Amino acid sequence: MADFPRLAATAAAIRQGKVSPIEVTRHCLDRVARLDGRLRAFITVDADRALGAARRLEEEAGRGQWRGALHGVPVAFKDLCVIRGLPTSCGTRTADYFTAEQECTAASRLLAAGAVCLGKLNMTELAMGALGDNPHHGHARNPWAVEHCTGGSSSGSGVAVAAGLALGAIGTDTGGSIRLPAAACGITGLKPTYGRVSRAGAMALSWSNDHLGPMARAAHDCALMLQVMAGPDPLDATASARPPDDYVAALDGPVRGLRVGVPRNFFFQGLDVEMEAAVRQAVATLATLGARVEEIHLPDPQVLNDITGLVSRSESTALHGGLLRERPHELGAFTRARLELGLSVPAHDYLQALRLRARLARTFTREVWSEVDVLAVPVIPEPAPPLRAALEGPLEEIVARQGRFSRLTRPFNGLGLPALSLPCGFSTGGLPLAFQLVGRPFDEATVLRLGHAYQRATDWHTREPDLA
C-alpha cells in the first residue's frame, strides 16, 4: 500500500476487493508503531480492538455484507470524543476527565458506517490553545518540520492524517481548532455549520461556538465523512433538524459562475508574504475554473473576534471551573490563565455579547451573502512557527501570540458558518500554506464542491512529508 492512502479511494478499493480491512488497519498501526514515538499524535492506541474490528469487517465483506460507506477504513478520534472502552482525557492529566452516558454521536456514526477506530488523538489541554502544545502528553509534532507547531487544538488529528497514521479523524473547532492544524499540517479540514454535526458525547469547551467536523487529506474525503456524521440527533438540542445534503453526489457539480468574495479588509492585513502570495494564487486558480472573483468589504471581523473570545472565555470557565477551583495545580499555565480570565467576565457583558453576535450574523447575511456565494481567505497569518519560540516569554505574550495565530478563523465560529481549510502551497522553508473557503449556513455542499474542483486542478493536497 501507499504510505499515505486517501480515505475515499481506500473505501472504494475495499469495496472492489483490491485491499482488505485487515491490510489497511495493519498498515496504519505499523506506521503508528514506527512514527508516533516521535510525532505524538496519539494519546491512546487501541491496536487489539482495531484489528479485531477489521477481521469482523473483512469477514462481513467476504459475505457481501457492507455496513456503510466507510467499511474497513481506519480512523481516529480527538480525545474529547467518548468511545466505549477508552479513556477520555481531553488532553488533561486525568485519564477519564470527561464522561458521558452516550458515546460521541459523530464517532458512533462513523463506526456504524464501518470505520475502524485506531484510538484517541492528542490535543491541547481542554481544547484551549492554537499551537498544538500539551504539557501532559507531549507536544504533537508537525510531520513537515518536527520543531514547528502543528496548530491546535486538534493537533493529533492534523498530525495523524498528515503522517498517514489514520486516513481520517474527527476534530473540533471553537476558534479554529480544525482549520488551524489542517493548515499547519497540510491537510484538508472542514468546520461545518453550527448544528450540522451533533456535539453529543464530546466534551464542550464553549457550547455556543463548538463545532465537530472531519479532517482528511482531501475535500472528497471530508465530504464522505460529513455525509455519515451529519444530521439531526435527539441527544443534542443544538443539532439542526434540517436533513443533510448529499455532499458526495454534489462534488462534481459545476462551479462556473460561483461568486467568490475576497475581502478588502482584515484578512489580508499583516500576512506573511509567502502566505499572501499563495492564497491569492489559489483565488486566481478558482477564477480559471470559472468562478467570478469579486472584492468585498466585510462587517468588521475584529468585532466578531472580540465577541467570540469573550463568549468562549465565559462558557469554558462555566464548564471547567471546577477543575480550576479544585485542582488548579494539574493545569498547564496557559490553560489555567485562560480559565481565570473567564472568572472576570460579568454576566452583563456575556449576555450583551450574545445579543451583538446575533445582530452581526444578521448583518453578515444581509451585506455579504447577497453579494457573493463563498468567501476565500487565509487560515493562518504565517507558516507554522517554531513551537519553542511560540511558547517562550511571559504568559501575556503567549496568550497574545495564540490569539494572533487564530485571528483569521475565529470570526466564522461566532457566525457558525461552514469553512473548509485547503492546502495551497509551501513556504521556501517547506512548510504548508493554506486558505479557507467559507459558505452560507448549511451550504457545505457548495464549499466542498469548490474545494474539490480546486484540488482537481492542483496537487498541493497530494504532497507527502518525508518521514523516513
Task: Return the active site residues.
Answer: 78, 153, 177
433 and 426 in contact (C-beta within 8 Å)? yes
Tell me if residue 176 falls in helix, strand or coil.
coil
Give the whole-angstrom CA distance, residue 194 versus residue 442.
Answer: 8
Tell me if residue 154 falls in helix, strand or coil.
coil
Give the whole-angstrom CA distance, residue 126 versus residue 124.
Answer: 6
Give the DSSP H or E segment for 171. Answer: strand 168-173
What is the Rg, in whole angstroms, of the alpha carbon atoms belonging to the chain?
A: 20
> What's phi and psi for 172, nearest 5 deg?
-125, 155
CB under 8 Å to 78, separation ≥6 — which residues? 120, 121, 123, 154, 156, 157, 169, 170, 171, 172
> What's phi and psi for 96, nearest 5 deg?
-110, 55
CB under 8 Å to 358, separation ≥6 — which residues? none
Pairing of strands 74-78, 259-263: unpaired
Pairing of strands 419-426, 432-439: antiparallel
273-307 CB burial, b ≥16 within 10 A, e <16:
ebbbebbbebbeebeebebebeebebbebeebbbb
**Residue 327 identity (one-letter amino acid):** R
Residue 212, CA distances (Å) to 125, 163, 230, 233, 430 in order: 17, 21, 10, 13, 29
Cell of 260: 467568490
262 and 283 in contact (C-beta within 8 Å)? yes
CB under 8 Å to 361, separation ≥6 — which residues? 414, 415, 416
